[in-house]
Amino acid sequence: MLTYRLLPSPSSKLLPPLIRTLSTSQTRTISASSNPKTVLVSPEEKSRGHLTNQNLELANRALHHDGLVVLENAISHEKLDFLNEKMVDDAKKLQARGEDSPYNYNKGNIQQDPQLTKRYFDKEIFLNPLATQVTSSVLGPRPRLSFISGNSALPPSPGVQQTAQPTHSDADFAHPSSPFALVVNIPLVTMTPENGSTEIWLGTHKYGQEAQEGEHGERASGRIREEWLSERRRVRAPARPVVRKGSVVVRDLRVWHSGQPNWTREVRVMLAMIHFAGWYRNPMEVNFSEELRGELERWGRDLVIQGRYAPEKEAEEKYLEGKFGNAYDFDQRDRLDVVF
């Protein structure tokens, strides 16, 4: 049995609260870490596609407290390997476009859509039931899936400077202060600081546009102001965690983060799906092959899948026409005229 209990802070507001971890085998006290909490998925949980109530509680509380949680051992490696081979090849094609590539902030990081056809679609990856169980526990039943894409950190290449993205939030618009969107990230290989593990600032999902600069829709929108970064760093420093292959990372859309350079020789692909709360009126749609319609209706019953369908040949020809990240609109229609 595993529970987390928040204890009072021993000193000033700059010190994070202590977290006491209690288990049947040991008791230890730690201070709030810059690294994310990890739920170790058992083979039984993975097989039945359902976390125990204790692990679900841990994931839920981590998301409310930190804005991020890692579900380790959630996806079969062979399925990731098959998709990774295809997406690495596609990433090189996008990189070759140069200025016309869908790069995010700098040319070392590109927005990359997977080919959502029958050959490359796997429900364990794109409709992972453990991820949906976690997002539903925070957002409410049947979240809306209206975005599937990916971020690829490219290895060094001639004429391209390897730099980090500015620290930013993907919620670069006026948004609710309650959870409304969770990003489901799936790295296709183990992510490390060497191959571009995303830098994360846990606990920053509690801040809004007041911390940002750059207009919504610009390539470099949602940047966090330097004075906010300096202040937050004194409270809780950022981290570039190692995320093991087979993991699912669930992140609040509002969390500050920064894509980092890839210093290895291999492309690092990380998928990104967004689950929006059922009440949140985002109109985006995902492009699927018509051949997937039945499978999506059968396996996506715990999600509202906002999709448009095209013949498989058309889907194969157009899937690499996606935009850069900040060109997508994660805002909602018919916003309430209230502020709180």
Whether 49 is in a domain gets the answer yes
Same domain, residue pair 2 and 87: no
pLDDT (tens digit per residue) in 182-214: 999 999 999 999 999 999 999 999 999 999 997
13: confidence class by pLDDT, cuts 50, 70, 90 = very low
Whether 333 is in a domain gets the answer no
252 - beta bridge partners? 182
- The closest of 185, 187, 150, 175 to 282, measured between CA atoms, is 175
Domain region containing 277:
33-327
Q: Nearest 5°: CA angle at 254, between 59 and 146? A: 85
Same domain, residue pair 2 and 94: no
Same domain, residue pair 156 and 7: no
With a CB cutoff of 8 Å and minimum separation 6, the contacts of 299 are 123, 127
End-to-end CA distance of the chain: 37
pLDDT (tens digit per residue) in 39-57: 999 999 999 999 999 999 9
Mean pLDDT of the chain: 88
149 - beta bridge partners? 272
> How many CB atoms neighbour CB 116 within 10 A?
21
Same domain, residue pair 10 and 130: no
Same domain, residue pair 52 and 160: yes
Rounded CA separation 203/172 (Å): 17
Same domain, residue pair 44 and 152: yes
Same domain, residue pair 211 and 320: yes
Whether 104 is in a domain gets the answer yes
Check whether 274 has a pLDDT greater than 70.
yes
Same domain, residue pair 175 and 60: yes
Higher confidence at residue 310 or residue 218? 310
Rounded CA separation 224/170 (Å): 11
Residue for token pair 């109109």: 283
Higher confidence at residue 33 or residue 41? 41
Mean pLDDT of 149-176: 90
Same domain, residue pair 116 and 192: yes
pLDDT (tens digit per residue) in 123-160: 999 999 999 999 999 999 999 999 999 999 999 988 77
Rounded CA separation 183/249 (Å): 8
Rounded CA separation 54/230 (Å): 36
Residue 59 has what pLDDT? 98
Whether 83 is in a domain gets the answer yes
Same domain, residue pair 207 and 94: yes
What CATH number corresponds to the domain at position 313? 2.60.120.620
Which tokens is 264 given?
A: 């290895």
Higher confidence at residue 337 or residue 266? 266
Calculate the alpha carbon distances from 241 to 71, 222, 329 in Å: 13, 22, 28
Whether 338 is in a domain gets the answer no
Check whether 241 has a pLDDT greater than 70.
yes
Same domain, residue pair 21 and 130: no
Same domain, residue pair 141 and 223: yes
In the chain, the largest separation of any two C-alpha atoms, in whole Å, equals 62
Whether 47 is in a domain gets the answer yes
Whether 340 is in a domain gets the answer no
Whether 334 is in a domain gets the answer no
Please state the domain count of the chain: 2
